[in-house]
Amino acid sequence: MTFYVRARDAAGYITLRRDTKEAAEKKAAELRELGCFEIEILEEAEPEAA
């Protein structure tokens, strides 16, 4: 599964991809410490094979 960390700072939005939820949560915490806001973690479901 893929996770996207989306955050906003004074310059605009940043979107980062992480492979695990734990890594996404860690990056979100780091971005918060750097002064980013409106931080969200989005989960992208993998498409099922037909």
* Cα R_g (the chain), whole angstroms: 12
Q: Do the beta carbons of residue 21 and residue 42 sit within 8 Å?
A: no
**Cβ contacts of 33 within 8 Å, gap of 6 or more:** none
Average of pLDDT values for 35-40?
96
Average of pLDDT values for 9-27?
96
pTM: predicted TM-score of the whole model, two decimal places: 0.83
**pLDDT of amino acid 50:** 65
pLDDT over threshold 80, residue 46: no
What is the phi-psi region of residue 15: left when phi exceeds 0, alpha when psi lies from -120 to 50, beta otherwise? beta
CB atoms within 10 A of CB 45: 7
Confidence bin at 29 (pLDDT 50/70/90): very high
Q: What's the chain's average pLDDT? A: 93
**pLDDT of amino acid 48:** 72
